[in-house]
Structure 1
Amino acid sequence: MSNGSTTDTLVTRLRTLVADLGPGSKLPSSRELIERYRVGPGTVSRAIATLTAEGAVVTRAGVGTFVAPRVDRPDVVSDMSWQEVSLAGREYDPANAVEATHLPTGDGIALSGGYLHESLQPTRSLGAALARAARRPDAWHRAPTAGLEPLRAVFARMAGGATTPQDVLITGGGQGALSMLFRAIVAPGGPVLMESPTYPGALAAARAAGLRPIPVPMDDEGIRLDLLADVFAMTGARLLYCQPTFHNPTGVVLAPDRRRRLIEVARSANAFVIEDDFARHLRHGLAAPAPLVTEDHDGTVVYLTSLTKPASPSLRIGAVIARGPVMRRLLGMRYVDDFFIARPLQEAAVELLSTPGWDRHLNSLRAELRDRCAALVGALARQVPDYTVSNVPYGGLHLWVRLPPDRQAAAVADACRARGVLVDAGDRFFPAEPPGAYLRLNFAAAGSVAELAKAASKLS
Structure 2
Amino acid sequence: MSESSSIETLAAILRAEIARLAPGDRLPSSRDLIVRHGVGPVTVARAIALLAAEGVVVTRPGSGTYVAPRRPRPTADAPDMSWQAVALAGRDSDTGGSDGTSETLPDGVIAMAGGYLHESLQPTRALGAALARAARRPDAWHRAPTAGLAPLRAIFARLAGGAVGPEDVLVTGGAQGALSTLFRAIAPPGGPVLVESPTYPGALAAARAAGLRPVPVPVDDDGIRPDLLADAFAMTGARLMYCQPTVHNPTGAMLSPGRRRQIVDVARAAGAFLIEDDFARHLGHGAPLPRALVADDRDGTVVNLTSLTKPASPSLRIGAVIARGPVMRRLQAMRLVDDFFIARPLQEAAVELLSTPAWDRHLRTLGGALRERCATLADALAHEVPDWTLTRLPAGGLHLWLQLPSGSADSAVAAAARAHGVAVDAGARYYPAEPQGSYLRVGFAAAADLSELTAAASRLGAVAREAGRHR
TM-score higher than 0.5:
yes
What is the deviation of 1:98?
7.8
Which aligned pairs between 1:17-96 and structure 2 lie closer than 5 A?
76-93=77-94, 95-96=96-97
Q: Take 1:211 and 1:299, find their aligned partners in 2: how far apart are those partners?
A: 22
The question of whether the paired residues in 2 share the 8 Å contact of 1:102 and 1:113 is answered with no
The runs of 5 or more residues in structure 1 that have no matched partner are 1-73
Q: Deviations over 1:195-246 (max 9, x none)?
A: 0000000000000000000000000000011100000000000001000001
- Normalising by structure 2, we get a TM-score of 0.81
Q: Take 1:239 and 1:153, find their aligned partners in 2: how far apart are those partners?
A: 27
Amino acid corresponding to residue 166 of structure 1 in structure 2: E
| DSSP-derived class of the 1:393 partner | coil
Amino acid corresponding to residue 268 of structure 1 in structure 2: A
Percent identity over the alignment is 70
Amino acid corresponding to residue 387 of structure 2 in structure 1: D
The question of whether the paired residues in 1 share the 8 Å contact of 2:196 and 2:216 is answered with yes
Amino acid corresponding to residue 244 of structure 1 in structure 2: P
Asked if 1:166 corresponds to 2:155, the answer is no
Asked if 1:398 corresponds to 2:399, the answer is yes
Q: Deviations over 1:156-191 (max 9, x none)?
A: 000000010000000000000000000000010000
Give the 3 Å change call, closer, same or farther, for CA 363–241 of structure 1 in structure 2.
same
Q: Take 1:229 and 1:94, find their aligned partners in 2: how far apart are those partners?
A: 30
Q: Deviations over 1:25-75 (max 9, x none)?
A: xxxxxxxxxxxxxxxxxxxxxxxxxxxxxxxxxxxxxxxxxxxxxxxxx97
The question of whether the paired residues in 2 share the 8 Å contact of 1:417 and 1:423 is answered with yes
Amino acid corresponding to residue 308 of structure 2 in structure 1: L
Q: Which runs of 4+ in 1 moved over 4 A?
A: 97-102
Q: Which residue number corresponds to residue 382 of structure 1?
A: 383
Which aligned pairs between 1:109-258 and structure 2 lie closer than 5 A?
109-258=110-259
| DSSP-derived class of the 2:147 partner | coil
Q: Take 1:134 and 1:423, find their aligned partners in 2: how far apart are those partners?
A: 39
The question of whether the paired residues in 1 share the 8 Å contact of 2:401 and 2:442 is answered with yes
Which aligned pairs between 1:273-312 and structure 2 lie closer than 5 A?
273-312=274-313
Q: Take 1:217 and 1:185, find their aligned partners in 2: how far apart are those partners?
A: 23
Amino acid corresponding to residue 193 of structure 1 in structure 2: L
Q: Take 1:262 and 1:160, find their aligned partners in 2: how far apart are those partners?
A: 19
Which aligned pairs between 1:273-352 and structure 2 lie closer than 5 A?
273-352=274-353
Q: Deviations over 1:328-351 (max 9, x none)?
A: 000000000000000000000000
What is the deviation of 1:294?
1.2
The question of whether the paired residues in 2 share the 8 Å contact of 1:126 and 1:352 is answered with yes
Q: Take 1:213 and 1:228, find their aligned partners in 2: how far apart are those partners?
A: 13
Matched pairs, number: 387
RMSD: 1.2
Q: Which residue number corresponds to residue 26 of structure 1?
A: none
The question of whether the paired residues in 2 share the 8 Å contact of 1:162 and 1:294 is answered with yes
What is the deviation of 1:95?
3.1
The runs of 5 or more residues in structure 2 that have no matched partner are 1-74, 462-471
Amino acid corresponding to residue 80 of structure 1 in structure 2: M
Q: Take 2:455 and 2:268, find their aligned partners in 1: how far apart are those partners?
A: 48
Asked if 1:106 corresponds to 2:107, the answer is yes
What is the deviation of 1:390?
1.6
Q: Take 2:86 and 2:266, find their aligned partners in 1: how far apart are those partners?
A: 45
The question of whether the paired residues in 2 share the 8 Å contact of 1:194 and 1:240 is answered with yes
The question of whether the paired residues in 1 share the 8 Å contact of 2:100 and 2:116 is answered with no
Q: Take 2:256 and 2:321, find their aligned partners in 1: how far apart are those partners?
A: 24
Q: Take 1:417 and 1:157, find their aligned partners in 2: how far apart are those partners?
A: 43
Amino acid corresponding to residue 216 of structure 2 in structure 1: P
The question of whether the paired residues in 1 share the 8 Å contact of 2:99 and 2:202 is answered with no
Asked if 1:355 corresponds to 2:351, the answer is no
Q: Take 2:112 and 2:98, find their aligned partners in 1: how far apart are those partners?
A: 18
The question of whether the paired residues in 2 share the 8 Å contact of 1:271 and 1:300 is answered with yes
What is the deviation of 1:435?
1.1
Give the 3 Å change call, closer, same or farther, for CA 158–397 of structure 1 in structure 2.
same
What is the deviation of 1:103?
3.0
What is the deviation of 1:96?
3.7
Q: Take 2:180 and 2:292, find their aligned partners in 1: how far apart are those partners?
A: 21
Q: Take 2:98 and 2:312, find their aligned partners in 1: how far apart are those partners?
A: 23
